[in-house]
Chains A and B, each alone.
Chain A
Amino acid sequence: IAGITQAPTSQILAAGRRMTLRCTQDMRHNAMYWYRQDLGLGLRLIHYSNTAGTTGKGEVPDGYSVSRANTDDFPLTLASAVPSQTSVYFCASSGGSGDTQYFGPGTRLTVL
């Protein structure tokens, strides 16, 4: 089934640890995105990628990094997790300008 997969589904992490959230899409979309969802704040863009080999910063990029080595994968890395990064993380992709964004099922991350 075409779509976006994210892993892990949920994770509890000690502060200071490194963590990579995985995202894979099989729709051959050029653009991919990472959002975090926090109660009362909606979804906020962390990083994005217009095409393989390029990345850009969104609204809340601090403490996160991304890479886009190929079209399908867009991992999000927390180099040294902090409790304020406790959130639900959604990956999304879209095919081009004006196209709909399709979302993955999310990763619930808790940093203690």
Chain B
Amino acid sequence: GDSVTQMEGPVTLSEEAFLTINCTYTATGYPSLFWYVQYPGEGLQLLLKATKADDKGSNKGFEATYRKETTSFHLEKGSVQVSDSAVYFCALSGANFGNEKLTFGTGTRLTIIP
């Protein structure tokens, strides 16, 4: 079945550092790929998404490119801020149930130190 593997955390970086959170997936067909962010005490929010190979999703300075050849969707940001501290989830949407069932990775906790 579908699965998502993302780098284990926690990840701690200094402010203005470069961020990469790795995400790879296994899926049949052509899934859509997502990054969700969960700030402390809140629900998940969509950060960005890509629906086909070579698409780049971007939002709030974060980017991720849908790489079908490497089955990857790594999240990057050039200069992180303290406000980026959160848990980040990579996810894919397949058509297993004829709907948009999401399969999530286990999450990566990111802490940014001033």
Query: Contact residues of A with B, CB < 8 Å?
Result: 31, 33, 35, 40-45, 48, 50, 56, 58, 90, 92, 94, 96-106
Is B77 in contact with chain A by the CB < 8 A criterion? no
Per CB-CB distance, the 8 closest pairs between chain A and chain B, nearest first, are: A103-B43, A42-B104, A42-B106, A103-B44, A43-B104, A105-B43, A50-B99, A100-B46
Given A43-B104, A98-B32, verify A103-B98 contact (CB < 8 Å).
no
The number of residues on chain B lying at the interface, defined by a beta carbon within 8 Å of a beta carbon of chain A, is 23
Which A residues are CB-close (under 8 A) to B101? Answer: 33, 45, 48, 58
Query: Contact residues of B with A, CB < 8 Å?
Result: 32, 34, 36, 42-46, 49, 51, 89, 93, 95, 97-102, 104-107
Shortest beta-carbon distance from B104 to chain A in Å: 4
Shortest beta-carbon distance from B96 to chain A in Å: 10
Which B residues are CB-close (under 8 A) to A102? Answer: 46
A42 near B100: Cβ-Cβ < 8 Å: no
